[in-house]
Structure 1
Amino acid sequence: MPTTPTLSCLIVDDDPVNRLTLEHYISLTDSLSLTASLTDGLEGLTFFRTGNQVDILFLDVQMPQLNGLELLRVLPDPPLVILTTAHEDFAVDAFNLQVTDYLVKPFDYARFSRAVQRAQQQAGTLAQAPTTQASALPDSDLFVKVNNKMVRINFDDVLYVEALSDYVIIVTDKQKHIVYTTLKAFVERLPFDHFVRVHRSYILNLRRVEAIENNMALMPGGQEVPISKSYQDIVFRKINRI
């Protein structure tokens, strides 16, 4: 029976209690080994820039000088990343950076183990395809924070995104996902140029539009999305037409 390969880990967190918790959880997990436990983002940056590598990075979001998201953005080839934070309002940044999981403090060993299992699955996928340097996720897939879990969504299936106060609703052919963020923040971080703001309350996937009639985008399943006059020029510049 094949054994699970051991994955090397790095902790970067300015909270000593959380560092000790992660160190303890890693020590309890046979498939993990701790390479280093660092106290801030600058130490983490130095670690990678001096040629060190690990399989999994447990990374705090909020740290002085260089926070976790800033560190991720400057690393050219980051490892699998599991974010840790005391706040839940970094979900859009998290899925935009395609992190493996997102742990909200305090978290227990069971939740930690589920995050590690996701990382092991992604590491296994990468190991089976050594000739490619592609992301662990397909280009169309992103993780989105829905309630208290990260949900993987194929954005090729998304029809549109609708604003609802301080939330957005991601609408696919089969279901809806409610995410705590504003529409403005969502569209600014969404890394797909075929998703376009068409109304103060809607972002539209232009690849799913079946027709445009009377300032309405007609979508699969008979759904309709309004296109306001102020966004019409942008929409028509984006779509291919003759």
Structure 2
Amino acid sequence: MNQWNCLIVDDEPIALEIVENYCKQLSNLNVVGLCKNALEAREALQLHHVDILFIDINMPVLSGLAFIKTLKKMPQVIFTTAYKEYAVDAFDLAACDYLLKPFSLERFIVAVDKAVEKLLPTQALASTTREDKNEDFTFLKAEGKLYKVFFNEVLYVEASGNYTRIVTAQQTFLPAITLSATAEMLPNHLFLQAHRSFLINKSKITHLEGNRVFIGAIELPIGSNYKERFLEDLGL
């Protein structure tokens, strides 16, 4: 079984203790440090390899959100906070999950599983050669041409009959494949289904409002049958 190093950052001693105890319940987690603020966390990250970072948002000197923005190499980040209103900002920073205090051990395990799911492909990629393709891009045939499309450049995907509109910031592709076939070639940890006709790159989401999700000025619907799962996948 893989062992994952964890760092816990919170200015509340009780919160630190709770997350540490939860980590002890999972044999694949190894706590390498407990920090009371972001500056202590910065030092810990320089001393230890950290796979999963559990961090509060409201802390003295430097908030959890501000601290994450300073990191060049990010571990899998799980925010632990009592404030729901920071969720969109957290996911805009590509956070793995967002735990609202007080959270249960069951909800904690769900968050850890999400982090481990993202860590495993990274570890596998590091041990293989560059010949292993399709880790971060795919090739699409559209309009008689073959395009190389990087997953992290795709904003959203929209069903259009037997075609699919794949929209990036630079251009739109219209391959002759269905939305379900497109979903199979996209990394499911990054692309979430918000509507029967839309897959959305969660790292591009800027905010949510009612039954709408926004990518900058782009407004997309959240289907009533998909809303609960969509919000759950965002950690809300």
Q: Tell me which interval the TM-score lies in, with the shorter structure as reference length.
A: 0.5 to 0.7
Q: Are 1:174 and 2:197 counterparts?
A: yes
SS in 2 for 1:156: strand
The Cα shift of 1:90 comes to 1.0
Which amino acid is 1:106 matched to?
P
Partners of 1:182 and 1:64 lie apart in 2 by: 30
Secondary structure in structure 2 of the residue aligned to 1:94 = helix
Deviations 1:12-56 (A, max 9, x none): 1111111100010111110101100100111112222x3432110
CA pair 56-156 structure 1, distance change in 2 beyond 3 A: same
Give the number of aligned pairs: 162
Amino acid at match of 1:157: V
Tell me the amino acid that sits aligned with residue 90 of structure 1.
Y
Q: Which amino acid aligns with 1:174?
A: S
Instruction: For residues 125-180 of structure 1, give each alpha carbon's deviation from its aligned partner in whole angstroms, at most 9, with x where no partner exists.
Output: 11121167x88x9415xxxxxxxxxxxxx7422699xxxxxxxxx97553699x97
Partner of 2:152: 139
Give the secondary-structure state (helix, strand or coil) at the position aligned to 2:2. Answer: coil
Structure 2 unaligned residues grouped into runs of 5+:
137-149, 159-164, 168-192, 201-205, 221-236
In 1: Cα distance, 2:194 partner to 2:17 partner: 40
Query: Structure 1 stretches (4+) deviating beyond 3 angstroms?
Result: 170-173, 179-183
CA distance in 2, matches of 1:180, 1:18: 28
CA positional deviation for 1:76: 0.4
- Counterpart CA distance in 1 for 2:25 and 2:41 is 24
Match status 1:115 vs 2:116: no
Against the structure 1 CA distance between its residues 37 and 125, is the aligned structure 2 distance closer, same or farther, given a 3 Å change threshold? same
Q: 91, 95, 99: which is aligned to 2:91?
A: 95
Aligned-partner Cα distance in 2 for 1:97–1:5: 26
Q: Which residue of 1 aligns with 2:124?
A: 128
Displacement of 1:94: 1.3
Q: Is the 8 A contact 1:89 1:181 kept in 2?
A: no
The residue correspondences of 1:28-39 to structure 2 (distance < 5 A) are 28-39=25-36
What SS does the aligned partner of 2:152 have?
coil
Provide the rounded CA distance (Å) in 2 between the counterparts of 1:40 and 1:180: 27
Question: Aligned residue for 2:147?
Answer: none
Q: 1:47 aligns to what?
A: 44
Q: Which residue of 1 aligns with 2:228?
A: none
Match of 2:156 in 1: 156
Give the distance between the partners of 2:121 and 2:195, measured in 1 at CA.
26
1:157–1:173 Cα contact (<8 Å) kept:
no
Partner of 2:99, secondary structure, is strand
Rounded Cα–Cα distance in structure 1 between residues aligned with 2:72 and 2:119: 18
> 1 CA distance for matches of 2:80 and 2:42?
17
> TM-score of the superposition, structure 1-length normalised?
0.58
Contact 1:157 1:172 in 2 (8 A): no
Query: CA 1:171–1:21 in structure 2 vs 1: closer, same or farther (change >3 Å)?
Result: closer
Task: Pick closer, same or farther for the CA change 1:30–1:16 going to 2, 3 Å.
Answer: same
Residues 200-226 of structure 1: per-residue CA shift (max 9 Å, x gap)? xxx358xxxxxxxxxxxxxxxxxxxxx
The percent identity for this pair of structures is: 30
Could you say if the C-alpha distance between residues 75 and 173 of structure 1 is closer, same or farther in structure 2, counting changes exceeding 3 Å? same
CA distance in 2, matches of 1:54, 1:123: 11
Unaligned runs of 5+ in 1: 141-153, 161-169, 198-202, 206-242
2:85 match: secondary structure = coil
| Counterpart Cα distance in 1 of 2:3 and 2:72 | 24
Q: 1:138 to 1:99 in 2, by over 3 A?
A: farther
